[in-house]
Amino acid sequence: MIRSRKILILGILLLVSIVVAGYLLLWGPGSRSENDELDKSDNSVSTAVLETRDLRVYKELDGILKYGDSFSVSPGNSGVLTYIAPQGSELTRGMVIYRFYRSISETEYLAADQQVASAEASLIQAQNNLENLKEAPSKSQIASANASVSQAELNLKNLMSDPEAYEISSANASVAQAKINLDNVLTTPSDASLAAAELSVQQRKSTLASSESAMDTSWISFRMARRAYCEAADNLDVGSWINNYEICPDLSQTGLTPEAVDELIDRIFIEEALIDLANSLINTHVNFESANTSYETAILSLQVAEMDLQALNQSPSDDELTQPSENLQAVEEQRNYLQSDPEQLAIDQATQSLNAAREQRTELNQGVDDNELRQAEYSLQSASLNLQIALSNRDGLVNGPSAVMLMFGETPAWRDFAPNMSPGIDIEQLKINLIALGYGDGLGDQFTLDQNYDASAISMVKELQEDLGLTQTGRLDFGDIVFLPGISLVEYSSTFPSLGSNIGANVPLMSLVPIVNVNTSVDTERQVSETTKSLQNIETSIDVADKDLIDIGTPVKIELPDESIISGKVTEIGRTAVIPSNNQNTDPYLEVSIQVDNNVNLPEWTGANVIVSITRELADDVLAAPVTSLMALLGGGYALEIYKDIGTELVPVTVGVYSDGWIEIKDTELLDGTRVVVPK
């Protein structure tokens, strides 16, 4: 960091004082009078000349040349990467950032269909609501409203009245039954119940054995009938349909498929020599399927009997005990509720229900007001628009090539561009870019530069898609357009994707660094004008002690790594001092930003270290003396030893600013060219 200017001045003055003090000890007043002849052969003293000059401070700061923050580009859809702009390449308006082949997944199709179905349901609901509001209440609606009021009145009356005898009897019966159910669960099964369950298991095992034997017999009969049919069919050469339906050869360990059975039935009279064999094959197949079903039923029946026997031998589980216990508790609470006075909360709720039913009936009789009708109409319009958007989104799900391109603008893309979308500044920004790229020349008066995605916008987008070799849908999915302030560079990355890579939706793919801000405007005649500003800047810092050396707008010189010099100016100065935290003995500093003049862009030097030179004018056209000629007087102040032909003379002087070995001489009659003595 740069040392303090004040400390440097004080150090130099201290050095001068030491030199002067030594000089006075050797050449003090007692050693030589003002009129003494100066020994010109004395080599211990030399002279210098006072000069009129400009005093400047020159500082060098270390800096880094860089651009602003990078922008991460994430695809809006998934697919396979087929092109990507090379690393370090410069992209301008309308250039393709990357291309990919989009593959629509079943999940995306399903989500789009669900969105359409939901929008259709909302539209139907909105239509029904509006129709119901416009129509006079029907007799059934009035009757329903009256019934709701009557029911609410009855509920409140029952709540305030004592329970009837039949209600108490019913509650007691429910409690008694719940106790019986719980006792049945807790009671140990009798020997007779266990014996009956064991007998049931043995009977079902016997049934299973019989079913298995019948199934085996029917299977053998089926195989024999199948083999006989296949051998006869082979001899008759009936065609390949037998093999196509896996009827022959007889290699399967299962029955015939339903399709094979249907084909046999359809052809049973076509192949007359095979009628009996085909009929036998079909019948044995049906018998086998029936036997197989009986066998599976016997297995399930045995499993049920074994589970019943196991349940009798085991103690009831926690779940089996919990349900009857909870039922008993519930009916006991219901009985207690009947026998106790109603709580105030229940009375309040019943009263509120009655008031709500009466208000609904009153509204039904009075009809709908204008505000409610307008709200229903707005809801219908909104539902219709949502359905159009959902249909457009579903229609946009197309497999095929896609391209993502760069457009200029301060507002980032945040949604799809599609028909019936709501107006916005992003639409106007897109239109400006399309006009700047030369689209829409044939629109004539149809074009309007506004915030609506109208027919002119759709037409220009289709032209763009045609030039890119894409399907002309007139819509742009989110992610198809990247809005950045202007010309941008593709940032280098160790994870830069390769062609053929699978890219995922909303997963960062690459980064762009804006280097030039481009402000674009379009007039009523569709004439395009642009202003540009380089976004390249230099970041450096300056010691707090030297902060007076610079201001906003201070010109500077910048030395690049190739030793070439460019100019710039200070654009930002930090307001808060940064205190180093790395335990180094460094001074607090302020962060400084510098803009390169004339919108010069140096992308090849991005990230390079540069030297920033600052020259500060301290005083213009002032009389100055070499600082080494300055002498400190014993009584205070400073003087110069003026060289004359007849000797030297001490002249008191007032000093001013110091710079680069020279110090300003003020309030004196000394002139430019006056010779002064300086230590040799």
Q: Mind listing the pLDDT tens digit for each residue in 238-271? A: 777 777 777 886 656 677 888 888 888 888 777 7
* Poorest-pLDDT segment among 131-145, 300-314, 417-431: 131-145
The order of strands in the sheet holding 488-490 is 71-73, 510-514, 488-490, 90-91
Helical residues (DSSP H) of 314-424, grouped into ranges: 318-339, 344-366, 370-395
The model's pLDDT over 632-677, given as tens digits with 9 standing for 90+, comes to 888 888 999 998 888 888 899 999 888 888 988 987 788 888 999 9
The model's pLDDT over 573-605, given as tens digits with 9 standing for 90+, comes to 988 888 887 656 678 889 898 888 877 777 777
Q: Is the pTM of this model over 0.75?
A: no
The model's pLDDT over 82-119, given as tens digits with 9 standing for 90+, comes to 999 999 899 999 999 999 998 787 888 888 899 999 99
Give residues with Cβ within 8 angstroms of 199, minimum separation 6.
none
Please report the pLDDT score of residue 130 as a whole number.
Answer: 83
**Mean pLDDT for all residues in the chain:** 83
Give residues with Cβ within 8 angstroms of 100, minimum separation 6.
75, 79, 80, 81, 82, 401, 402, 404, 503
Task: Please provide the DSSP assignment of 432-483 as one string.
Answer: HHHHHTTTTTT-GGG---SS---HHHHHHHHHHHHHTT----S-B-TTSEEE
**Closest by Cα among 557, 549, 541, 564 to 596:** 557
Tokens, residue 160: 């305030």
One-letter identity of residue 401: P
Residue 431: its H or E element: helix 425-436
Contact present, 425 and 454 (Cβ < 8 Å): no
Residue bearing the bigger pLDDT, 652 or 534: 652
Please report the pLDDT score of residue 190 as a whole number.
Answer: 77
Task: Please provide the DSSP assignment of 517-559 as one string.
Answer: EEEEEE-TT--EEEEEEE--EEEEEEEGGGGGG--TT-EEEEE
Please report the pLDDT score of residue 93 as a whole number.
Answer: 96
Please report the pLDDT score of residue 45 as a whole number.
Answer: 66
DSSP state of 494: T
Average pLDDT over residues 324-340: 82
Please report the pLDDT score of residue 372 as a whole number.
Answer: 78
Q: Does position 387 have pLDDT exceeding 80, yes or no?
A: yes
Task: Please provide the DSSP assignment of 234-299 as one string.
Answer: HHHT--THHHHTT-SSS--SS---HHHHHHHHHHTTTSGGGHHHHHHHHHHHHHHHHHHHHHHHHH
Please report the pLDDT score of residue 36 as a whole number.
Answer: 37
Average pLDDT over residues 204-209: 91
Contact present, 4 and 547 (Cβ < 8 Å): no
Give residues with Cβ within 8 angstroms of 603, minimum separation 6.
88, 90, 489, 515, 536
Confidence grade of residue 430 (pLDDT, cut at 50, 70, 90)? very high
Please report the pLDDT score of residue 250 as a whole number.
Answer: 63
DSSP state of 417: B
Q: Does position 369 have pLDDT exceeding 50, yes or no?
A: yes
The model's pLDDT over 469-515, given as tens digits with 9 standing for 90+, comes to 998 989 998 899 999 999 999 998 999 999 999 988 888 999 999 98
To the nearest whole percent, how much of the chain has pLDDT over 70? 92
CATH of domain 534-616: 2.40.30.170
Q: Residue 123: phi, psi to the nearest 5?
A: -65, -45
Confidence grade of residue 3 (pLDDT, cut at 50, 70, 90)? very low
Please report the pLDDT score of residue 6 as a whole number.
Answer: 40
CATH match for 5-62+617-679 among 3.40.190.10, 2.30.31.70, 1.20.1050.10, 2.40.420.20 = 2.40.420.20
Average pLDDT over residues 164-171: 81
Please report the pLDDT score of residue 71 as a whole number.
Answer: 92
Q: Does position 34 have pLDDT exceeding 50, yes or no?
A: no
Which range in 203-207, 597-601, 611-615 is most confidently predicted, on average pLDDT?
203-207
Domain ranges of the chain: 5-62+617-679, 71-104+398-532, 191-314, 534-616
Average pLDDT over residues 439-458: 85
Please report the pLDDT score of residue 249 as a whole number.
Answer: 65
